[in-house]
Amino acid sequence: MFVLIGLMGILAGTAASGIKTLPSSNQAPTPSGTLGPIVGGTKDPAHPEVGALVSRRHQCRPDQVGYVCTVTLLSPRVAITAAHCLDIYGPEGPYEVLFTDDVDNTDPLAALVLQTLVHPDYDPQRHDMDLALLVLDRNVTLTPAEPMDRLLDATDVGSTVTAVGFGLTGPDDLGTYGIKRRGDMLITQVDLGSFETEPGPAMTCSGDSGGPVFLTTDQVEHLVGVTASGDQACRSYAHNIQVAAAWDDFIQPVLDQVASEPLPTEEGTLRLDELCTEPCQSDDDCPAHLRCLPGLGGTNKCVLPGLIPGQFAGSCSTNQDCPSGTCARLHPSGPDSCLCMIPCDQMEPPDGGLGDGTLSRDGAVQDGAVRDDAVSDAVVLPDGGDLPGPGRGCACNAAPPGNQPPWWWILLGAIYAMGRRRRSFS
């Protein structure tokens, strides 16, 4: 079972784009009746390069998958998604990509996100250039998507395109996130950096944000767009960003630089069995891409986001295999991905709360993690802002009553409010 992350879905219309449109067949009437997939649902095993952006899994159990958005592989170590998928938890949030047909699969091909890069012209209000690149920790052994080598124009209006995503099959079908589906749409309008689509008969919906839009020419499927937004009812239109508009100045330079760099090492200066006794100075000191975060008395500790400070030893498959009751996922996949986590002894902060990046063990911690009822249901935003309003796009505010964002995302918000530091290409 996966859980939904309370990300913002943003409603954007073409009138707000501020971009001069090319001649087109004008607006089509709003369709009625039953819609086909993605709304309505046709499963899609044909696009292995399309993955699910999730929060980094920190325990080796299936209900620790927090779905966020859809992504597409552009090169062995770079994927593309929508920039607004990163709005709440920020570019430094702990993300992971699962290349699978269903996020509930127990052993998906997976990679950690080490860095995110948001398009410099991204406008969250108008959805201009709503694109972000994800740099992964390993080479993904799948064939990347083939991009279109030209911009769409007026001659493409009326063409059929195919959308792929892990989102809802309808605006009220809250239990349908997490399964990869595909469906056809029709191009109705082309702008300089984006294009609009209507059901053909499919329509993207909440959770499909960041996913690919393909156009087939000469029997070859080309990536032409990234899903950005649409109407809340998932019936009338979708707003998509043209990938070719960002290719030369944004995407290709990142692909070239990542390809020229060696794979990052998972080894730090500290061992997994000494994380409780030895402080860290930066993330580079931490093994397994853990984060160096503030601890008690101003001492930094290497921490797996979502868990209390601890050290790791002994292979495991489930929490029952570990004396501490916590089988932690150190690596995205592989035979040694899960190790028993041993909580550090010095865990009690002076205020008994979240103030220094650790958690009180006085009733709040259970099995090396925070009890579901030990923290507020409210989401803690990294920048101290308020939750955005309703709309559609990514996995947005879709949890039904009683299914609030999980405790570990609340913990991450508090930790990253103190531990964020920006990384960028130089």
In a domain, 16, yes or no: no
Per-position DSSP letters for 93-121, written without gaps between them: S-EEEEESSBTT-SS-EEEEEEEEEE-TT
Give the global pTM.
0.76
| Residue 367: predicted pLDDT | 47
In a domain, 283, yes or no: yes
In a domain, 55, yes or no: no
In a domain, 303, yes or no: yes
CB-count exposure of residue 251 (10 Å: 0-12, 13-18, 19+) = buried
What are the pLDDT tens digits along the chain (426 aa)? 444 443 323 222 222 222 222 333 333 333 323 333 356 458 888 999 999 999 999 999 876 688 999 999 999 999 999 999 998 778 999 999 999 999 988 889 999 999 999 999 999 988 899 999 999 999 999 999 999 999 999 999 999 999 999 988 876 776 677 899 999 999 999 999 999 999 999 999 989 999 999 999 999 999 999 999 999 899 999 999 999 999 999 999 999 999 999 999 888 999 998 999 899 999 999 999 999 998 767 789 999 988 989 999 899 999 999 988 999 999 998 888 999 999 986 444 434 433 333 333 333 344 444 333 333 222 222 333 332 333 455 543 333 323 333 444 444 443 333 333 222 222
Q: Which of 47, 136, 79, 104 is nearest to 332 (CA)?
A: 136
Q: Which of 49, 411, 425, 389 is nearest to 253 (CA)?
A: 425
d(CA 170, CA 326): 37
Q: Which of 252, 38, 52 is nearest to 147 (CA)?
A: 252
* Structural domains of the chain, count: 1
The answer to whether residues 227 and 81 touch, using CB atoms and an 8 Å cutoff, is: no
Q: Which of 95, 140, 85 is nearest to 388 (CA)?
A: 85
Strands 194-199 and 238-242, by their bridges, are: antiparallel
Domain extent, residue 367, equals 272-374
CB atoms within 10 A of CB 381: 17
| Residue 348: predicted pLDDT | 44
Strands 300-303 and 310-315, by their bridges, are: unpaired
- Residue 372 phi/psi, 5-degree rounding, is -60, -35
In a domain, 292, yes or no: yes
In a domain, 109, yes or no: no
For residue 260, give the H/E element and its range.
helix 252-260
In a domain, 388, yes or no: no
In a domain, 167, yes or no: no
- Residue 309 phi/psi, 5-degree rounding, is -55, 140
- Which residues make beta-bridge pairs with 195? 190, 240
| Residue 334: predicted pLDDT | 82
